[in-house]
Amino acid sequence: MSHIGRTAAPGKRALRQELLAARDRLTADDVREAGEALARRALELPELAGARTVAAYVSVGTEPGTLALLDALRARGVRVLLPALLPDNDLDWGAYAGEGSLARVRHGGRMALFEPAGQRLGPDAVAAADVVLLPGLAADGRGMRLGRGGGSYDRVLARLERAQARPALVVLLYDREVVGHVPAEPHDRPVQAVVTPSGVRRLA
């Protein structure tokens, strides 16, 4: 799909810069406390209560922390899939088996990512997920999500659509990142819910 990886519209670029600057001001304690609160809130989601397989991700830098949530899901017996970035920005997947099962991988000059060190399951493995937890920088009341602009999750969402898979789509954010309006393009897909440290917001 030709839109993937394209330069973002000016409105998206400006909003990304503003939100990333706000995240850069967070301390390690802010990030840890938000991650613990986020895990508690997310575990209240009915979709996660009934999920057998959840596609998630390992937070990096000042993203809302996800490790507490990953471990809580695994303790429930949920199969947790984590992404591994491919050279074309698509995502492969592997199973999470605890923090010791992660490898720190640097892709070119980008921020290092924590990826599953075990067997790769292929890009289509995400279609088995009951819930997909998405990273993002913002979401609005329509459920439109602002990502970092790499296009990886555009590919994931397009793959789910082609497979006619219908997992619940949930984005994990800080409270202030639920905004009035996210500029949307025709290929953007809405999420059903946002989890922030203060609670769950159902979206249209």
CATH of domain 10-202: 3.40.50.10420
Q: Is the pLDDT of residue 176 over 50?
A: yes
Comparing CA positions, the residue from 177, 170, 130, 174 lying closest to residue 153 is 170
Query: How are the residues of the chain apportioned to helix, strand and coil, as percentages rounded to the nearest 5?
Result: 30, 20, 45
Range among 80-84, 139-143, 177-181, 188-192 rated most confident: 80-84
Whether 178 has a pLDDT exceeding 70, the answer reads: yes
Is residue 199 scored above 70 in pLDDT?
Answer: yes
pLDDT tens-digit series, residues 4-48: 333 445 578 889 999 999 999 999 999 999 999 999 999 999 999
Give bridge partners of residue 44 from the DSSP assignment: none
Using an 8 Å Cβ cutoff, are 133 and 57 in contact?
Answer: yes
Decide if pLDDT at 3 tops 50: no
